Amino acid sequence: MIDISKLTQKDLCFMFDHTNLKAYASTADIMQLCDEAVQYGFRMVAINPLHTALCRELLRGTDVHVGPCLSFPLGQNTIEEKCTETLLAISQGADEVDYVTNITAVKDGRWDYVEREMRTIADICRAAGVLTKVIFENCYLEKSEIEKLAKIALRAKPDFIKTSTGFGTGGATVEDVALMKQTVGDEVEVKAAGGIRDWKTCKAMIEAGASRIGCSAGMQILEGFRAEKGL
C-alpha cells in the first residue's frame, strides 16, 4: 500500500495513465496527449490501438509507456482475436496492454474460459516484457464475481487488475478497489479508472489500494494535490 503522507508530486504523476480513448480523438489530440505525458512525467498514455505506432515514435527515448486498450470497451472478442490484437500491439511498440475480460463468460460462470483468456494474454505479454492489465468492468458485476476474477488473477498473474473502462454504466469505486486489493494482496497490482477527476477521489482510490490511476484529468488532479501540500 502506498503511504499518502510520503507521496511526492513526481510519485503521483508516475501513477497516472494519461488517457484519451474517445472515438473522435484526432491525431493532433493524441500528439498533445503524448506531449502532456512527457511534460508532467505521467507513466503511460492510454490510447486506442490505431495510435500505438504513432505514440511509440513520439515517446521514443522517454520514460512514458505506450498502452493500447484492447477488445475495448466490450470485451466480446474471442481469445484468439484478443491474442492477435495483443501480438500486433506489441509488434507496434506497446509497453503495456489493457484488455477487457469477457463479461458474458463471467456472467455465465464460465470461469475456465475466463482463466484461460487471462493466462494466455498474460503469458504473451510476460514473454515480451510487456505489462498486462485486465479490465473487469465492475459496474456489470456482483461483488462475488469481482472477487472470483481477482482470485483467478492470483493464478494467471497479470501485472494489474483494473476496475473499469470508463465507458460502462459506472466507474471506479473505493469499495471495489478495496475488495480487489484485499483479494490479490501484493501479488497483483490494482488500477482504478473511470470517473476519477479530482484529487479527493484519486486520494481515496490510492488509500484503498490502487497503485495506478487511469484518467484524463491528471493535470487537474495534480493541481488539487499541490494545493493540499501547499506547493
Predicted confidence (pLDDT) per residue in 95-148, tens digit: 999 999 999 999 999 999 999 999 999 999 999 999 999 999 999 999 999 999
181 in active site: no
- Average pLDDT value over all residues in the chain: 97
Mean pLDDT for the stretch of residues 154-179 = 97
Q: What is the largest CA-CA distance in the chain?
A: 51
- 5 pLDDT tier (thresholds 50, 70, 90): confident
What is the Cβ-side half-sphere exposure of residue 151, based on CA atoms within 13 angstroms? 8
pLDDT tens digits along 219-231: 999 999 999 988 7
162 in active site: yes
Task: Indicate whether 1 pLDDT > 90.
Answer: no
Mode of pairing for the β-strands spanning 131-135 and 16-20: unpaired
> 193 with 20: CB under 8 angstroms?
no
Go through the domains of the chain in sequence order and give each one's CATH number: 7-229 (3.20.20.70)
Q: Which residue is catalytic, options 98, 148, 176, 181?
A: 98
At 78 the pLDDT is 97
Among 134, 13, 136, 119, which residue's Cα sits nearest to residue 64?
13
| Residue 164 backbone dihedrals phi, psi, to 5 degrees | -160, 160
133 in active site: no
Task: Indicate whether 35 pLDDT > 90.
Answer: yes
- 19 pLDDT tier (thresholds 50, 70, 90): very high
Q: Give the C-alpha separation, 193 to 215, whole Å.
A: 6
Q: Which residue is catalytic, options 82, 133, 181, 191?
A: 191
Q: Which residue is catalytic, options 17, 162, 176, 181?
A: 162
pTM assigned to the model: 0.97
Mean pLDDT for the stretch of residues 209-213 = 98
The residues with which 46 forms a beta bridge, in sequence order, are 19, 67
- 181 pLDDT tier (thresholds 50, 70, 90): very high
At 188 the pLDDT is 98
Q: Which residue do the cell numbers 505479454 mark?
A: 125
Strands (E), the chain: 16-20, 44-47, 65-70, 96-100, 131-135, 160-162, 189-193, 212-215
